[in-house]
Every structure is written in structure tokens, then in C-alpha cells.
Chain A
Amino acid sequence: MSAETVLFIVFAGIAVMAAVNLIWQRHPIHSALSLIVVMVSLAALYLLLGAELLAAVQIIVYAGAIMVLFVFVIMLLNAGEEERTEVSHAAKFLGVPLAVALTGLLAWRMWAFAPAAAASAVTDQNQTKMLSRLLFTDFTFPFEMTSILILIAILGAVVLAKREQ
């Protein structure tokens, strides 16, 4: 087994276990910490796939900014343990098999679209440079639109969370 395979198995295992733990834990802060573990192991997988810039962005924006927001809100609202409520029988017996079926179907269809023949693994030395060039030439318009989106999101968050007079 190559080092790549070993690293993939390690980080994929960590990601899946942390995702299961996210669902298993009843306290939101434990779920949030599990989600951070998922995100960091995904960043490691991005590095394995040759996307260095995205790995850095994943850690800085996702594991940093977004998860800090989650943890901050959990602290602010003093969120306690989840209450256990009755799940309907249909959900209890059909839910998990249907979720497994969905996962299998997704995996099967997407696997078919990943051509194994093209796996020459030619990672470009200057991928970050090419990515930036693409972002500022072909994708300029969407890129500028995201700044407006962020602005609207800031306004929306302030207006929503503001206390009524």
C-alpha cells in the first residue's frame, strides 16, 4: 500500500467516525467539536488530492470562522442537552434503511462518473496560481457577486438579531 492510500484510510476513518459522533452526541458542543474534526480531516484529504489552497481555506474559514460562530452561539444561548422526543414508527424503521439506500445510490452513481483511467495524478506545481487566475478571469462576475452576497448576509444578520425597541 502506498503512503497515499494509508493516509486516505486514516483521514477517511477519522472523518466518518467524527461524523457518526456528531449524530450520536446529545450535547451540541460535543457535536460542534466533532464537526471541527471532520473539517480538519477533510482539509488533510484536500492536501492529498493536491488542492493546497483549498486545504488552507477549509481550515481558516470553515474550522476557524464558521465553527467559532457555532461555538459562540452555543455558548450565548447556553444550549443544554437535547431533549429526547418520540420518533414516529415509520421514521424509526424506514429512516435508516432509506438513508443507507440514498448513500449507496449516491456513491454508486458518482463512482461511475469518476473515470479510473484518468488517474495519472498529474498535480500541477502551480495550482494555486492557476486557480487564482481562473477566479479573476473566467469567474470574475460570480466572484464579485459573492461580495454583494456577503454584504446582504451581514445586513440580514444584524437586522434579524437586533433587539426590538
Chain B
Amino acid sequence: MDLAADCVVLSAILFGLGVVGFVFKRNIITIFMSIELMLNAVNLAFVAFSRQWHDLSGQVFVFFVIVVAAAEAAVGMAIIVLIARNRHSLNVERVNLLKL
């Protein structure tokens, strides 16, 4: 049993769960959390590969992913607050101005 290979499989499972949450959830905050879950899964794969190939660049990339996730969370939360203020709902089904 190899730790890094198992971590890669776990990362794929978490990513799949994130995709399911992204597609099936209706609350915009929970959808955002599913995106964070997917980012975390990718980070885990980066760290596992970094250990397996003995290359620390993978861990540097995780740093950058975390920074981008923080920036994304700040802007995303501002957008969510704006949507909630304008639509009076957090349901994505109600945000359909662009829908034909």
C-alpha cells in the first residue's frame, strides 16, 4: 500500500464529490463551498505528487492555489452578498436574468 497513490485516489473521490455538490446543490453558498472542496482535492493531489517525485514545486503550487482561493472567496462572497441583496434569495434558480 503506497501512501501517495492512495492520496491521489482520495483526491479524485473528493473532486468527484465536489462536482456532485456543484451540480446538485441549489444554495449559492453551498455551491461555492463545493468549489472550495474541489480546490482542496487538487491541492491534495499536488502534495502527493510532490512527495512521489521528490520535487517541491508541487508544494509551491499549492501555496498559489491557496492564495487564489482566498482572493476568489473574497470576491465571490461580495458577489453573493450582492445577489442576495438584489434577488432576496440565495437560490440559484432565482438568478435567471440571462436565461432565455
By a beta-carbon cutoff of 8 Å, the part of chain A in contact with chain B is 4-5, 8, 12, 15-16, 19-20, 22-23, 28, 31-32, 35, 38-39, 42, 45-46, 48-51, 53-54, 57-58, 61-62, 65-66, 69-70, 73-74, 76-77, 79, 82-85, 87, 91, 95-96, 99-100, 102-104, 106-107, 110-111, 113-116, 118-119, 121-123, 127, 130-131, 134-135, 138-139, 142, 146, 149-150, 152-154, 156-158, 160-161
CA distance A74 to B84 in the complex (A): 11
Q: A70 and B77: CB pair below 8 A?
A: yes
Chain B residues with CB under 8 A of A102: 16, 19
Task: Name B81's closest neighbour in chain A (CB-CB).
Answer: A161
B92 CB to nearest chain A CB (Å): 9
Q: Can you sample 15 A-B contacts with CB below 8 Å? A: A8-B7, A19-B18, A22-B17, A28-B29, A35-B37, A51-B59, A62-B66, A73-B29, A73-B77, A77-B84, A91-B23, A103-B16, A114-B4, A153-B72, A153-B74
Q: A99 and B16: CB pair below 8 A?
A: yes
B69 CB to nearest chain A CB (Å): 7
